[in-house]
């Protein structure tokens, strides 16, 4: 046991990968910011309700309404929007009416509905982050409200440092992980499974896994060739398993 653990540095945010699939997200406003918010929450397969009068709709928002990607209430916000059809799980305001935006923020706080109020960090229960998306890979950067443009630049720099097939790599290494669970389904063997997968990741490295990915994408049976190595708890070099 350590005499003293590293002190925790507070003042940050709790970063989570929020599972919002089929949850109801109310977006108030239908302009520029709303258009971006819709994309952010639809990535998580949320059910989106937009409340905004037709006169102020951004063409992207209009298109998503026309395509049935979001539900639309063609009017200004009413307090009852927070209660209708069993209530909502999250609210995002994207209005050009600052006072009304703040009022909605306070209402959500009263009702304990998580809320993001565009342009008013103090009223946000959570901030959005600058995001890189590549299939199952998501990388998000926060500066905790200090510099959104800086978030964007750091995110771009991080993404550029990755192998170009990083998203596929996450996908195919996930396939390998699923295979290992099939090979050794017993829950008490979890430590063996995790230990072997970790050793493979470390031995191959990111660039090795990227090479594996290109080969596995061409030949779906390749993964089965790893089973004897798993069974004997050995980690093969790529040369031993690539065609």
Ligand X SMILES: C[C@@]1(CC(=O)O)C2=NC(=C\c3[nH]c(c(CCC(=O)O)c3CC(=O)O)Cc3[nH]c(c(CC(=O)O)c3CCC(=O)O)/C=C3\N/C(=C\2)[C@@H](CCC(=O)O)[C@]3(C)CC(=O)O)/[C@H]1CCC(=O)O
Ligand Y SMILES: NC(=O)c1ccc[n+]([C@@H]2O[C@H](COP(=O)([O-])OP(=O)(O)OC[C@H]3O[C@@H](n4cnc5c(N)ncnc54)[C@H](O)[C@@H]3O)[C@@H](O)[C@H]2O)c1
**What's the rounded Cα separation, in Å, for the pair 178 and 210?**
18
Burial class (CB in 10 A: 0-12, 13-18, 19+), 182: exposed
Residue 210 in contact with ligand Y, rule: CB under 6 A: no
Q: Judged by CB under 6 A, which of 60, 69, 89, 97 binds ligand Y?
A: 97
Residue 77 interacts, among ligand X, ligand Y, none and using kind-specific CB cut-offs from 5 to 8 Å, with: ligand Y
Q: Which is nearer to ligand X, 13 or 198 (CB)?
A: 13
**What's the rounded Cα separation, in Å, for the pair 122 and 37?**
19
Residue 118 in contact with ligand Y, rule: CB under 6 A: yes
Q: Which is nearer to ligand X, 142 or 213 (CB)?
A: 142
User: Please, which residues bridge with residue 139 across strands?
Assistant: 132
Residue 32 in contact with ligand Y, rule: CB under 6 A: yes
Q: Judge whether 66 counts as a catalytic residue.
A: no
Residue 100 interacts, among ligand X, ligand Y, none and using kind-specific CB cut-offs from 5 to 8 Å, with: ligand Y
Minimum CB–partner distance for residue 38 and ligand X (Å): 11
89, 97, 119, 125: the active-site residue = 119
Stretch in the footprint of ligand Y (CB under 6 A) among 46-54, 129-137, 155-163, 208-216: 46-54
Residue 90 interacts, among ligand Y, ligand X, none and using kind-specific CB cut-offs from 5 to 8 Å, with: none
Residue 60 in contact with ligand Y, rule: CB under 6 A: no
**What's the rounded Cα separation, in Å, for the pair 96 and 74?**
16
Residues with catalytic function:
119
């Amino acid at each position: 046991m350590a005499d003293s653990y590293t002190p925790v540095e507070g003042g940050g945010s709790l970063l989570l990968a929020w599972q919002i699939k089929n949850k109801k997200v109310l977006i108030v406003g239908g302009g520029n910011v709303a258009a971006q918010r819709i994309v952010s929450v639809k990535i998580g397969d949320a059910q989106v309700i937009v409340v905004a009068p037709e006169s102020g709709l951004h063409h992207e928002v209009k298109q998503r309404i026309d395509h049935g990607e979001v539900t639309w209430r063609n009017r200004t916000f009413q307090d009852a929007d927070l209660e209708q059809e069993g209530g909502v799980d999250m609210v995002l305001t994207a209005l050009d009416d600052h006072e009304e935006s703040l009022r909605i923020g306070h209402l959500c706080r009263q009702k304990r509905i998580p809320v993001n109020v565009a342009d008013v960090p103090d009223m946000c229960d959570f901030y959005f982050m600058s995001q890189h998306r590549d299939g199952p890979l998501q990388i998000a950067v926060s500066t905790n409200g200090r510099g959104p443009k800086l978030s964007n630049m750091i995110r771009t720099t991080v993404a550029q440092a990755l192998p170009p097939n990083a998203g596929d790599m996450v996908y195919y290494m996930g396939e390998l992980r699923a295979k290992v669970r099939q090979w050794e389904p017993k829950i008490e063997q979890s430590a063996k499974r995790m230990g072997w997968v970790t050793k493979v990741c470390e031995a191959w490295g990111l660039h090795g896994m990227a090479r594996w990915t290109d080969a596995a994408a061409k030949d779906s049976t390749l993964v089965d060739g790893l089973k004897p190595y798993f069974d004997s708890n050995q980690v093969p070099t790529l040369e031993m398993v690539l065609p």
